[in-house]
Structure 1
Amino acid sequence: MIPLQLPGREECFLDTPYTDVVEAAGKLAPQALRLAEGEGSVALFGHSLGAVLAFEIAREIESLGFPELQHLFVSGSPGPWTGREQRATGLDDEEFMVRVTEFAGYRHAAFDDPGLREILLPLLRADVAMHEDYTPLSREPLSVPVTAMRGADDELVSQEQSEQWRSATSGTFTTTEFPGGHMYVVDSAEQVLRTVARSIGNGW
């Protein structure tokens, strides 16, 4: 699995973060194809905000006529046409952090350090605004198979909301659950990777 590097993170820390999911996907799709060059087939995986990013990247890749796109895995997210009822964008710092902690189901210790918080908060605000303002480019479904994943105890994304991804593809659709809450991917990373590998025919 190869991660796509977003602006504002790690070695791209000084770059300006994206503010629009569709625009970000248009720029990330060529990056994904370059990273996958020579691999033979491509599958995309995204969690939460990453799920809608991966969905729009898949749409962009399909529009380019790239036949090697094999599967889309979306995790911890309602369907792309379901907006979030509660918003954090526009709240003051304290209320913003409380609301985001509710959304994510956890609070990273870095935000309890005043110095780190000052550095990280603008990036977090940009990500949250991008997610909350997201409007899908089209209601046309993808043709690539889609698997929707969630934590069985996720209080943020219900099984019904996960099932909403069914309308995002005209191809095969499956759902699967893992032990844990919204951030199940942290504790079940190996199990998730095995599931992805089996789904694309590269069983471990």
Structure 2
Amino acid sequence: MTGASVTSGWARSYANRPDATVRLFCFPYAGGTASLFRTWHTALPETIEPVAIQLPGRDDRFDEPPHERMDPLVTDLVEALTPLLDKPYALYGFSMGARVALALAHEVSYRGLPTPRRLFVASSAAPALRRPVRGWDEPEEGLVAYLRDLGGTPPELFDNPDLLELFLPSLRADLTVVGTCPVVQTTPLDVPIRAFAGEADAEAPPARMRDWAKETCAGFELTTLDGGHFFPEEETARMMEIIGADLRD
């Protein structure tokens, strides 16, 4: 790989792409892990290196306390990722990850660091709507009910109390990051944004994602996909085709 090496803590690359000309930093949904993006390199052009973000409090970082506030999370992310901004890059955030990616884009701009070529957001209602975040301040039963409503969680997780007990703390912490993050008036990013919305998503349907346009002065596009909050495999492939085309332009 040309340029800086991907770190083993926060950033994970699942493919050796020495000729990649752009990095795509991928931020998972609440409770998610870097492994969600482990096969993305198979659907993206060789010129794009997907780099998955592993947050504390899960998988091999399970012993580290998860963040519960946006500011310290973004501060740590900037410190970890700055060495990897040595080549053009883009940000992709799914659900909670979209809000983290947005905050990171503002922070690198504020610090005078290289800014992303594009910001891709999926399954996340626009910040300007100021919609309340479910689950983070509810009892465990409410948090589990929210998880069931979203869909996409393997049924065996709900049938295994021990696994559920291990998973819920990182999920609650991630939701708390977004639930306690104030939406303040900021200068729109000078970064193009493309949003992906599931047509049947009850949490972040296309109508609730259109206002992501308010977060940029550099162009906005909304792509509607089949499915709900989590996209079917074929629609995820379509999304990656679009991302690849955008980053080739």
**Interval of TM-score (by shorter of Structure 1 and Structure 2):** 0.7 to 0.9
1:107 matched to which residue of 2? Answer: 153
CA distance in 1, matches of 2:115, 2:137: 41
CA distance in 1, matches of 2:209, 2:229: 12
Give runs of aligned pairs for residues 52-71 of structure 1, distance below 5 A.
52-67=99-114, 69-71=116-118
Which is further off, 49-58 or 7-16?
Answer: 7-16
Give runs of aligned pairs for residues 16-27 of structure 1, distance below 5 A.
16-27=65-76
Are residues 137 and 10 of structure 1, via their aligned partners in 2, closer, same or farther at CA, if it must alter by over 3 Å?
farther
Q: Which has the higher helix share?
A: 1
Unmatched 5+ residue regions in structure 1?
none
2:169 matched to which residue of 1? Answer: 122
The answer to whether 1:7 aligns with 2:31 is: no
1:34 matched to which residue of 2? Answer: 83
CA distance in 1, matches of 2:124, 2:209: 6
Are residues 161 and 43 of structure 1, via their aligned partners in 2, closer, same or farther at CA, if it must alter by over 3 Å?
same
Residue type of the alignment partner of 1:83: R
Residue type of the alignment partner of 1:29: V
Are residues 46 and 186 of structure 1, via their aligned partners in 2, closer, same or farther at CA, if it must alter by over 3 Å?
farther
Indicate conservation of the 8 Å contact 1:157/1:182, yes or no. Answer: yes
Indicate conservation of the 8 Å contact 2:195/2:209, yes or no. Answer: yes
Alpha-carbon deviation of 1:163?
0.6
Indicate conservation of the 8 Å contact 1:21/1:53, yes or no. Answer: yes
CA distance in 1, matches of 2:133, 2:55: 25
2:182 matched to which residue of 1? Answer: 135
Secondary structure, aligned partner of 1:29: helix
Are residues 64 and 90 of structure 1, via their aligned partners in 2, closer, same or farther at CA, if it must alter by over 3 Å?
closer
Alpha-carbon deviation of 1:33?
3.2
CA distance in 1, matches of 2:51, 2:64: 20
Alpha-carbon deviation of 1:61?
1.5
Are residues 88 and 193 of structure 1, via their aligned partners in 2, closer, same or farther at CA, if it must alter by over 3 Å?
same
Indicate conservation of the 8 Å contact 1:111/1:120, yes or no. Answer: no
Indicate conservation of the 8 Å contact 2:74/2:107, yes or no. Answer: yes
Which is further off, 5-14 or 188-197?
Answer: 188-197
- Count of residues in Structure 1 that have an aligned counterpart in Structure 2: 199
2:21 matched to which residue of 1? Answer: none
Give runs of aligned pairs for residues 144-163 of structure 1, distance below 5 A.
144-163=191-210
CA distance in 2, matches of 1:12, 1:171: 36
Are residues 60 and 90 of structure 1, via their aligned partners in 2, closer, same or farther at CA, if it must alter by over 3 Å?
closer
TM-score for both structures, normalised by structure 1? 0.87
CA distance in 2, matches of 1:41, 1:48: 24
Indicate conservation of the 8 Å contact 1:6/1:12, yes or no. Answer: yes
Are residues 96 and 185 of structure 1, via their aligned partners in 2, closer, same or farther at CA, if it must alter by over 3 Å?
same
Alpha-carbon deviation of 1:53?
0.2
Percent identical pairs in the alignment equals 27
Are residues 10 and 35 of structure 1, via their aligned partners in 2, closer, same or farther at CA, if it must alter by over 3 Å?
farther
Unmatched 5+ residue regions in structure 2?
1-49
CA distance in 2, matches of 1:34, 1:136: 29
